[in-house]
């Protein structure tokens, strides 16, 4: 008997070795075996599959996938003050892979769990920043590391009121210790260039805000003045 397969794991899940077996959307891919490597909290699998190459020949391949569920993130912005509200928290994977202190500036984000994307990001934004979001804009969806991680991230943007103090901080019971940082939008773009902002989802939302989002016209005006 194996936890996560035929007996519940710590999160009550079984059948974790069945993921992907029934897929039929790509006739050039045939799933042969799914091995459960770990389900301590998220799920690590090793999948063996046959793949038909462009020239017609088939090869037997293996890939590990890390399944942590899908997530959502939101850029909080204020047009009047030309600021964005980001979070700062410690990220161990970044720290052990070269980031000076592991303290990353990020847009508020979290996993969907059992919620739909909009409900999830409203929950996460409130937990991390203290703000209850009003109107919210869906921006796009993206697979953040499709070579190994299954997560699909849902991107949103929403205005916030800087006159109201941020009172989040995360959930202490889950080990979260989150600061909020209000940054001038132009400075935030500069921080991408210097590496002071190095989180992918945050970079994507800031660049969207400049190119096609709430700060687009301000950026056009600046370019016209140069």
Domains annotated on the chain, with CATH: 16-67 (no CATH), 71-223 (3.90.79.10)
Say if residue 219's pLDDT is above 60: no
Say if residue 166's pLDDT is above 90: no
Burial (CB count within 10 angstroms: exposed 0-12, middle 13-18, buried 19+), residue 124? buried
pLDDT over 70 for what percent of the chain?
94
User: Which two tokens mark 100?
Assistant: 């000076």
pLDDT at 49: 98
> Is 142 annotated among the ligand-binding residues?
no
3-state secondary structure of 13: coil
**Mean pLDDT, residues 24-45:** 96
Torsion angle (degrees, nearest 10) of CA 18, 3, 174, 64: -40
pLDDT over 90 for what percent of the chain?
85
| Mean predicted lDDT score pLDDT of the chain | 93
Distance, in Å, from the CA atom of 152 to the CA atom of 163, rounded to the nearest integer, reads 33
**Over the stretch 71-92, which tens digit does the pLDDT of each residue have?**
999 999 999 999 999 999 999 9
Measured CA angle at 120 (ends 114, 126), to 5 deg: 135
pLDDT at 171: 74
Least confident of 1-5, 107-111, 150-154: 1-5
Distance, in Å, from the CA atom of 47 to the CA atom of 27, rounded to the nearest integer, reads 17
**Mean pLDDT, residues 5-15:** 91
> Is 35 annotated among the ligand-binding residues?
no
Distance, in Å, from the CA atom of 48 to the CA atom of 46, rounded to the nearest integer, reads 7
Say if residue 2's pLDDT is above 80: yes
Burial (CB count within 10 angstroms: exposed 0-12, middle 13-18, buried 19+), residue 14? middle
Least confident of 22-31, 66-75, 117-126, 210-219: 210-219
Say if residue 46's pLDDT is above 70: yes
Distance, in Å, from the CA atom of 24 to the CA atom of 223, rounded to the nearest integer, reads 49
Pairing of strands 43-52, 58-67: antiparallel
- pTM, full prediction: 0.92
Say if residue 225's pLDDT is above 70: no
Say if residue 222's pLDDT is above 60: no
**Mean pLDDT, residues 58-62:** 98
Q: How confident is the model at residue 218 (pLDDT cuts 50, 70, 90)?
A: low
3-state secondary structure of 202: helix
- 74 Cβ contact partners less than 8 Å away, ≥ 6 residues apart: 107, 108, 109, 121, 124, 125, 133, 136, 155, 156, 157, 158
**Over the stretch 90-127, which tens digit does the pLDDT of each residue have?**
999 999 999 999 999 999 999 999 899 999 999 999 99
> Is 124 annotated among the ligand-binding residues?
yes
Helices (H) and strands (E) in the chain, counts: 5, 10
The winner for highest mean pLDDT among 85-89, 163-167, 217-221 is: 85-89
């Amino acid at each position: 008997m194996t936890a996560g397969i035929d007996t519940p794991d710590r999160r009550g899940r079984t059948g974790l070795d069945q993921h992907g077996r029934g897929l039929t959307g790509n006739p050039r891919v045939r799933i042969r075996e799914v091995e459960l490597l770990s389900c301590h909290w998220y799920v690590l699998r090793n999948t063996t599959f046959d793949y038909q190459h462009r020239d017609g020949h088939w090869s037997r391949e293996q890939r590990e996938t890390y399944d942590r569920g899908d997530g959502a993130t939101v850029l909080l912005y204020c047009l009047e003050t030309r600021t964005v509200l980001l979070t700062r928290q410690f990220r161990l994977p970044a720290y052990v892979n070269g980031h000076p202190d592991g303290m990353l500036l990020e847009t508020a984000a979290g996993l969907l769990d059992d919620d739909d994307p909009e409900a999830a990001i409203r929950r996460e934004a409130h937990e991390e920043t203290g703000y209850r979001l009003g109107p919210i804009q869906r921006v796009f969806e993206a697979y953040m590391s499709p070579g190994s991680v299954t997560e699909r991230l849902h991107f949103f943007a929403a205005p916030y009121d800087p006159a109201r103090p941020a009172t989040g901080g995360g959930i202490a019971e889950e080990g979260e210790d989150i600061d909020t940082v209000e940054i001038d939008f132009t400075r935030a773009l500069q921080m991408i260039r210097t590496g002071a902002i190095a989180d992918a989802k945050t970079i994507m939302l800031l660049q969207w805000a400049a190119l096609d989002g709430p700060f687009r016209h301000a950026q056009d005006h600046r370019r016209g003045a140069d």
